[in-house]
Amino acid sequence: MGNSDKLFQVARFNPELNKILNTSYEAFMIYQSKGLLTHLLKRKHYVAAKYIDNISEIIRKPDYIGTYNSSIEFVKCYKDNIFISVKLDTKRNKYYVATAYEVKQGKIESYVKSGRLNKVGINVLD
């Protein structure tokens, strides 16, 4: 992320998700770059681009969540399944939406099987 990228707040990480992730994150703000849409279109993530206005909801109420390397991954199943990766910008000490893309149900199932993603129960976030 270049310094010219303007970041804005999109959602707060819900510490209730720690139970599923087996982590101990405090509540923290997640940011989105104004350049995210351009990034998605450049990478041909057209389906995910249609859901750019849903990013806040995807983070607040994911259907699946997991961690991979140093990112937190959120998946929300609409008509399309949208996968969002949130990373820590260590220079600014801010979590930001790194990318988003469509993911097939079969891929979600294999991630669940491998332990990369966990299903979020219906009443976990209520």
The pLDDT of residue 126 is 58
> CA 90, CA 25: separation in Å to the nearest integer?
16
Which residue has 């299903």 as its token pair?
A: 119
Question: How high is the mean pLDDT of the chain?
Answer: 93
**Token pair listed for 90:** 């260590």
Is the confidence at residue 2, as pLDDT, over 70?
Answer: no
Q: Give the rounded percent of residues in the chain with a pLDDT score beyond 70.
A: 93
Domain total in the chain: 1
Residue 71's H or E segment, with its range, is strand 71-77
125 domain residue, yes or no: no
126 domain-assigned: no
% of the chain with per-residue pLDDT over 90: 87
Q: What is the DSSP letter of 53?
A: G
pLDDT recorded at residue 4: 46
Q: Which residues share a beta bridge with 28? A: none
123 within some domain: no
> Could you report the per-residue pLDDT of 33-80, keeping only the tens digit for each?
999 999 999 999 999 999 999 999 999 999 999 999 989 999 999 999
Domain that holds residue 114: 7-118
pLDDT tops 90 at residue 21: yes
Q: For residue 19, count other CB atoms closer than 10 A to its CB.
A: 12
CATH at residue 77: 3.30.2310
**Residue 30 reports pLDDT greater than 70:** yes
Q: How far apart are CA 45 and CA 43, in angstroms?
A: 6
- pLDDT category at 123 given cuts 50, 70, 90 is low
